[in-house]
Amino acid sequence: MEFQKNIICIGAGYVGGTTMAVIAAKCPHCRVTAVDVDADRIALWNSGNLPIYEPGLDDVIRKARGKNLFFSTDIDGAIRGADIIFVSVSTPTKSFGEGEGMAADLQYWEKTARRIGESACGDTIVVEKSTFPVRTAFAMERILSTMNSGNRFQVLSNPEFLAEGSAVRDLEEPDRVLIGSHDGPEAVAARDELVALYENWVPREKIITSNIWSAELSKLAANAFLAQRVSSINAISVFCEKTEADVTEVARAVGMDNRIGSKFLNASLGFGGSCFKKDVLSLVYLCRCYGLHEVAEYWNWVVRMNEYQKNRFVQTMLGAMFNTLAGKKVALFGFAFKADTGDTRETPAADVARSLLAEHAEITITDPKAIENARRDLAGLPVTFTPDPYEAASGSDAVAVVTDWSLYKTLDYEKIFQSMNKPSFVFDGRNILDHSRLFEIGFNVFPIGKVSLVHF
């Protein structure tokens, strides 16, 4: 079949792989290829065992792969034939030099820019998909224009707002698609081409355009606002624990205010994931670079609050269990940074596990999808893993719910209680269990932002 457009994405990670799969499914007239330097990852995308767990993704890939969706390591070949190049390579936090621990590490992105400059043929649209610091497009344009390839490039910013665990739905029915461009005629033509691509399945009123710097900043700002909501409700949860207020009741009352809204008000042991901490710190770093120290500090507290909340969770365990965890057995229910994903990047579970080990506790980790990643994250540490939560809890002193997997709500807690050491403790870091029921069974129950239920 003759395809009308050749679309590629450099970087076949969570964002690149999933986004290309949905574009391919929605645009059968386009040939869509995701390329990556990681040959193992590409082999998995081409297999029956995808490199990521994402509900609904298997189906989408099965329908399009081999027809108009391809995964390949031939990056230069893909660039040569591309009309539109999405760039979705990793932009982790810098772990060295200037801005270490805060600024975005742009080395993979710059390598990609140069590679596009070397291999592209004809007029090409380059779309920033990963989250970049504001004004990254400027650097991309400079690199491409000084490589003297004779080609013309238009750089657009089209940040991805998908959340893991709901990525396919977020892509199929996005709240909005944002496309940032310059305002010259060629840039506007490129922007309209990308608008037309999304119009294949997204209503036109949900596709918004802006200047390119606004688009870059909007992604950082959206993640900062979301992270701030979690830190805000977590700050309230601390206060609730001191005053016998209940954070769920407070969140419901606050969230019913139309101006505030009810989402992202679940108190937890802290947020995780590859974006929130990284993007807020990137924003903090950028503010500092512009000399905006008060603004930087304001956002920095979102991350500091999150660190405090993670520490507090373990401090509560320590205090409740008579100030010693040495030799005690703790079952961690969940290791993924949230439910419905196997991703463990920046998961609060890793901090909890390390802090418990520092107290000489013995820990067993269970998770339906994240055990392989957990093994890798905690390599060399004395930790036991099992996919079976009953086995994890058996013989333990405490169960700590770290990930909000819904399966943990429906376990047989009578059976779990019978199999545990006494006194038995539950620390619900996600407030997903029925606390009064657990208390009736005999557990000592410690939720987040609520009165603890203790038998002694």
Binding site for ligand ADP (CB under 6 A): 10-16, 36-38, 41, 75, 88-90, 108, 111-112, 130, 274
240 is catalytic: no
Could you tell me the smallest distance in angstroms from the CB atom of residue 133 to ligand ADP? 14
Could you tell me the smallest distance in angstroms from the CB atom of residue 315 to ligand UDX? 18
For CA atoms 114, 115, 116, 122, the dihedral sign is: positive
Distance of alpha carbon 395 from alpha carbon 420, whole angstroms: 5
Site for ligand UDX in 110-169 (CB under 6 A): 160-164
Catalytic site residue from 121, 275, 287, 289: 275
**Do 181 and 212 meet the contact criterion of CB atoms below 8 Å apart?**
yes
Q: Which does 88 bind (CB under 5 to 8 A by kind): ligand UDX, ligand ADP, none?
A: ligand ADP
Quick check: helix, strand or coil at residue 427? strand
**Do 403 and 349 meet the contact criterion of CB atoms below 8 Å apart?**
yes
Between residues 373 and 403, which has the closer beta carbon with respect to ligand ADP?
373
Work out the burial of residue 451: count CB atoms within 10 Å of its CB; fewer than 13 is exposed, 13-18 middle, 19 or more buried.
middle
Could you tell me the smallest distance in angstroms from the CB atom of residue 281 to ligand UDX? 14
Distance of alpha carbon 102 from alpha carbon 283, whole angstroms: 9
Between residues 153 and 313, which has the closer beta carbon with respect to ligand ADP?
153
Angle (deg, nearest 10), helices 247-255 and 212-243? 140
Tokens 């990284």: give the residue.
278
Give the β-pairing of 398-401 and 69-72.
unpaired
Site for ligand UDX in 220-239 (CB under 6 A): 223, 226, 230
Binding-site size for ligand UDX (CB under 6 A) equals 19
Between residues 15 and 332, which has the closer beta carbon with respect to ligand ADP?
15
**Do 430 and 401 meet the contact criterion of CB atoms below 8 Å apart?**
yes
Could you tell me the smallest distance in angstroms from the CB atom of residue 402 to ligand UDX? 10
How many Å from the N-terminal Cα to the C-terminal Cα in the chain?
73
Between residues 274 and 355, which has the closer beta carbon with respect to ligand ADP?
274
Interface pick for ligand UDX out of 94, 338, 435, 450 (rule CB under 6 A): 338
Work out whether 265 is an interface residue with ligand UDX (CB under 6 A).
yes
Give the β-pairing of 362-366 and 383-385.
parallel
Distance of alpha carbon 117 from alpha carbon 139, whole angstroms: 13
Work out whether 377 is an interface residue with ligand UDX (CB under 6 A).
no
Interface pick for ligand UDX out of 45, 109, 299, 337 (rule CB under 6 A): 337
Dump the DSSP string for 286-326.
Answer: HHHHTT-HHHHHHHHHHHHHHHHHHHHHHHHHHHHTTT--T
Cβ-proximal residue to ligand UDX, closest one: 273
Residues that bind ligand UDX (CB under 6 A): 160-164, 223, 226, 230, 264-266, 268, 271-273, 275-276, 337-338
Residues annotated as part of the active site: 275
